[in-house]
Chains A and B, each alone.
Chain A
Amino acid sequence: MKDKKNRNHPAVHYATPFILLALCTGVAAAAMIKPADKLKVYANIAFMDDQKLSGDDTGLVIRDNEIIENYTGETSEEGEVIPPQFGELFATVYSPAIGLDVPVYWGNSPELFERGACQSSGSSLPGRDGNAVISAHVDTFFADLSKLKAGDTVKIRTNYGEFEYEVRTAVEFKSNNNKYVNPSEENILTLYTCKKDILGSADDRIGFVCDLKKKSFYTGNEVTG
């Protein structure tokens, strides 16, 4: 006589829910990591303070400023660049072609990358001659950067002016290759982020070199919107 006793064994009843829970947790955690990143970004923006001391003891002071978006006053091709402080939100990078509108902080720091894009303090400020280098996380602010195409318009808005660039070309480089982030005599903007990788940590970077098309320094105070 045969008897399928194991099916009714107490261990089966106790173990089954835990096993299913572990399975669901593993799958859910893996699947939710990307949406969680975006949620964190929104939370950061929603609850950001104007001036916030970093949570750790590094002494980093993050300064969040309002950036002028709709300036209607007079502009000039030449003007004064206002140098930001380390950790200061001083610009936004905007590209309607891919729906990009991201705050830009001065200096590279993990805390700043959580809040927006960062411009290397070893690169030229927008409005000055040279290469302005801006980067951001591929999982958050520059998730759609790879959709840029040659000819697309990218604008850098600051509180001293707006600078319009046109995407010239897409580039790929390794993280130990400084070629595209080095200073340049050309007036260009270089945007880059990690190449998308399921594990998140990629040595490859994708970027876009953009030519400066128009400089508009603000000379008045007219702001709308």
Chain B
Amino acid sequence: MRNHRFNRMITALAGAALVCGLAVVPCAAQAATPEEAEAAARACGIPEEDIQAAWNQFYAEPEKYTPEVIDKMIEQLYIAQGQIVTNVPYNPDAVIPALTDAAQAPAETVTTAASAAQDEQPATASQTPDSQSPASPSGGNNAGSTTEPDITLMMPDGTTFTRIGKNRFIALSYQDKLTYLGTFTSDQQSVIIENLSPEEYRSMLKQLPSDQKLDVIDTLSGITDDLGLTITVDELTDDSAKISLRDAKGELKGVAEAGKLVADTGYDRRGFFALCGALIAAAFGGLAVLVHSCFTEEITEDER
């Protein structure tokens, strides 16, 4: 349905970075068929449930998805993904407490995503514990965890540098992620951004400040306009986003709550039962007072 299509778009912003390298490397969308779009989406790391939702929507109104619409959709995604993260000012002296607290570990196993964006030369995995890493000497930001090795990336000129592993990057706050990125040179930042995994992108998308989320939604609304749909933001905080899609008549076509797949299948009755409990407790309290007063013998003046 359309709501999940939007969800797909949102999450696609994260995954598409793998392929096109954000705003650093301009990419031309060439997906003329839904199958090609699906393949591109999957390669970009878009969650399967969103791809499924997109297919459901496509089957409902296939005539709307012309090659031009699909191409534009992907182009808009590329624009929007640049709103999630771009290069930040270089600050090699920045220290990130969340990283400096971690234990040092040997970078014996290295994984890296292919980086073919800038010079068609794929990034290669290599064991380079002494690779250039601006964060290491400055504040220990390159400290690896005991369970996750650092990632070695290759620059276009063939030199290598390391960055922290995927899980540690995901665990950082959005600001810490940007600060960490800033410990690398601009060229290194570009390579890192090109090689961010879909999960890393997704984590950044979730952490985006609400004003930036609005920018992303605004960009994506260009896609839905072509499909005759309007996006309405029902709820937007730094931690959540609830969005509705409506057609030209105002009919609701879908509701998306970021990342929420399991439905609420029970009524929350805590308040109701608390009220009932309070009523019963108050009644028992009143009864106790009554019984107490009824069976308490008053001492008369004579007895005093």
Tell me the complex Cα distance, A123–B262, Å.
12
Is A136 an interface residue, CB under 8 A from the partner? yes
Q: Name the segment of A6-14, A42-50, A155-163 touching the other chain.
A: A6-14
* A117 → B minimal CB distance (Å): 9
Cross-chain contact B283 with A26 (CB below 8 angstroms): yes
Tell me the complex Cα distance, A30–B281, Å.
13
Which one of B2, B265, B282 contacts A205 once the chains associate, using CB atoms below 8 Å?
A: B265
How many residue pairs between the two chains, A and B, have CB atoms under 8 Å in the bound complex?
187
* B15 → A minimal CB distance (Å): 15
* CB nearest neighbor in A for B52: A183
Query: Number of A residues whose C-beta is below 8 Å from B?
Result: 72
Cross-chain contact B49 with A178 (CB below 8 angstroms): yes
**Residue-wise interface mask of B (275-304) relative to A, using a CB-CB cutoff of 8 A (1 in contact, 0 not):** 111111011101100100111111110110
Is B244 an interface residue, CB under 8 A from the partner? yes
Question: With A3-B298, A4-B298, A182-B48 as given contacts, are A205 and B262 in contact (CB-CB < 8 Å)?
Answer: yes
Is A224 an interface residue, CB under 8 A from the partner? no
Question: With A19-B290, A23-B287, A122-B53 as given contacts, are A138 and B296 in contact (CB-CB < 8 Å)?
Answer: no
Tell me the complex Cα distance, A96–B271, Å.
36
From B60, B255, B265, B269, residue with most partner A Cβ within 10 Å: B265
Is A177 an interface residue, CB under 8 A from the partner? yes
Cross-chain contact B294 with A124 (CB below 8 angstroms): no
Q: Name the segment of A67-75, A164-172, A192-200, A208-216 touching the other chain.
A: A192-200
Residues of chain A lying within 8 A (CB to CB) of residue B49: 122-123, 178, 181-183
Is B266 an interface residue, CB under 8 A from the partner? yes
Tell me the complex Cα distance, A5–B273, Å.
38
Residues of chain B lying within 8 A (CB to CB) of residue A146: none
Cross-chain contact B266 with A58 (CB below 8 angstroms): no
Residues of chain B lying within 8 A (CB to CB) of residue A125: 56, 59
Tell me the complex Cα distance, A30–B255, Å.
33
* Cβ < 8 Å to B, chain A residues 68-124: 81, 83-87, 106-110, 113, 118, 120-124
Cross-chain contact B254 with A86 (CB below 8 angstroms): yes
Which one of B252, B266, B275 contacts A87 once the chains associate, using CB atoms below 8 Å?
A: B252
* Cβ < 8 Å to A, chain B residues 89-129: none
Which one of B4, B270, B286 contacts A200 once the chains associate, using CB atoms below 8 Å?
A: B270
Cross-chain contact B263 with A59 (CB below 8 angstroms): no
Question: With A83-B60, A87-B252, A183-B51 as given contacts, are A120 and B263 in contact (CB-CB < 8 Å)?
Answer: yes
Residues of chain B lying within 8 A (CB to CB) of residue A25: 279
From B59, B264, B302, B303, residue with most partner A Cβ within 10 Å: B264
Cross-chain contact A1 with B265 (CB below 8 angstroms): no
Which one of B263, B272, B297 contacts A118 once the chains associate, using CB atoms below 8 Å?
A: B263
Cross-chain contact A59 with B298 (CB below 8 angstroms): no
Question: With A5-B298, A181-B262 as given contacts, are A16 and B290 in contact (CB-CB < 8 Å)?
Answer: yes
Cross-chain contact A81 with B52 (CB below 8 angstroms): no
Tell me the complex Cα distance, A137–B268, Å.
11
Is B177 an interface residue, CB under 8 A from the partner? no
Interface residues of A, Cβ cutoff 8 Å to B: 1-7, 9, 12, 15-16, 18-20, 22-23, 25-27, 29-30, 33, 37, 54, 58-61, 81, 83-87, 106-110, 113, 118, 120-125, 130, 135-139, 142, 173, 175-178, 181-183, 192-194, 197-202, 205
Closest 4 CB pairs of A and B: A121-B1, A194-B266, A23-B283, A26-B279
25 A-B interface contacts by CB (under 8 A): A6-B296, A12-B294, A19-B290, A23-B287, A26-B283, A29-B272, A86-B254, A107-B255, A121-B53, A122-B7, A122-B49, A122-B53, A125-B59, A138-B265, A173-B262, A181-B49, A183-B51, A192-B262, A198-B273, A199-B268, A200-B268, A200-B270, A201-B268, A201-B270, A205-B262
